[in-house]
Structure 1
């Protein structure tokens, strides 16, 4: 069994689209769409306060939910420290975002199809020694501008917002940010600090996804807060 298979997380919205959890992700997609009716939200960033809160799983299933609504969707793995998307979708990570940002490849060379119709991916590429610096480059802006011409929705997986500045940098390039919080393990002060870090760069936080909420309805995988989270 390969390392990719070992580390692959299931994509529930693709494998079991009629499940209550899949329906929850479709509801999240709808909530995002209605959160800004007058503006076109094309680039969304997903982050968390700490590692292990489910940001990448949330992003993956949200991306599939968009793809299932006949949108042309792109996942960009901008977690240049601990990337996971190439494992999830079982694709090569030889070339990716770092290849683009360092002018070693063109967009058409790093775009990869996934096993999900309408869903493409740009993996992280090789892990660089200076993630924050290359994410802050003007090249990042031009890449996203070009990708927005090719895709209806772009979902960016960013590192957790507490430990490093990467998420703050990427947030300034996005139309909106979704903050994922694990209700069972996250401390309130860390969630508030992550929110503050994002607001410091005037990021537009669309809402907070509470993961693993202990509710009477065990089918509810998350709870979504609209707009400003207190």
Structure 2
């Protein structure tokens, strides 16, 4: 059953003609052209620390893919502090955690959202061992199955410096986007987060510079997405 939007952060759905919505579409385009030889089907969005806007970013990015007509699955891989079910007004009684423990089938756990072509796999109840569940055969087999059913799979993961979950999950993805809150994150923390991803050979596609002030808004369009050289 589709439900109404109750979260103003989903600006691409609520106001698709706004300048910010256009920025999210530009991000989608840049991701597409960041890999000519290989299709980017599974993409993880993370940050170095909490509160940088990664969940808002991935939610709006998912909507832009769905508006393009692609069959999109959004997965809440933050099984410690889940939030996507609240943003999309969905139940979190079952989800990723119950699928990986074998208590629920993935088909039963996936929910339709109010956005056409966009489905959500919420985190499910908070388990005692999130990193072990992500680093499991069940996780790999689930993703292999879902890649046959969806055009794009976007995964919202915990901050890299908080827990090991994101570093593990990055090895399961075609690419990683790092969201950075302008003026909030110290360079040393960003370098440390990038170093952890590099250590497992994760493919860092680029950095989204978020929450720039209005004086720098003109630069936001040019610099919000820093491609890895």
Q: TM-score, normalised by structure 2?
A: 0.94
1:160 corresponds in structure 2 to 159
1:88 corresponds in structure 2 to 87
Instruction: Give CA deviations for 1:133-165 in whole Å, capped at 9, x if unaligned.
Output: 111001100000000011000000000000110
What is the correspondence of 1:1-80 to structure 2 with a 5 Å cutoff?
8-80=7-79
2:187 corresponds in structure 1 to 188
* Structure 2: tracts of 5 or more residues without a match: none
Decide whether the 8 Å contact of 2:97 with 2:127 is kept in 1. Answer: yes
Task: State the shift of 1:38 in Å.
Answer: 1.1
Task: State the shift of 1:10 in Å.
Answer: 2.3
2:116 corresponds in structure 1 to 117
- SS at structure 2 position matched to 1:150: coil
2:227 corresponds in structure 1 to 226
Instruction: Give CA deviations for 1:7-57 in whole Å, capped at 9, x if unaligned.
Output: x45200000000000000000000000000110110000000000000000
Decide whether the 8 Å contact of 2:44 with 2:173 is kept in 1. Answer: yes
Which whole-Å CA distance do the structure 2 matches of 1:168 and 1:12 have between them?
A: 29
Decide whether the 8 Å contact of 2:8 with 2:14 is kept in 1. Answer: no
- SS at structure 2 position matched to 1:189: helix
Task: State the shift of 1:227 in Å.
Answer: 1.8
Which whole-Å CA distance do the structure 2 matches of 1:137 and 1:24 have between them?
A: 36
- SS at structure 2 position matched to 1:51: coil
Q: CA RMSD in A?
A: 1.5
Which whole-Å CA distance do the structure 1 matches of 2:29 and 2:214 have between them?
A: 22
Q: TM-score, normalised by structure 1?
A: 0.93
Which whole-Å CA distance do the structure 2 matches of 1:77 and 1:13 have between them?
A: 19
* Structure 1: tracts of 5 or more residues without a match: none
1:175 corresponds in structure 2 to 174
Decide whether the 8 Å contact of 2:206 with 2:227 is kept in 1. Answer: yes
Which whole-Å CA distance do the structure 1 matches of 2:78 and 2:167 have between them?
A: 12
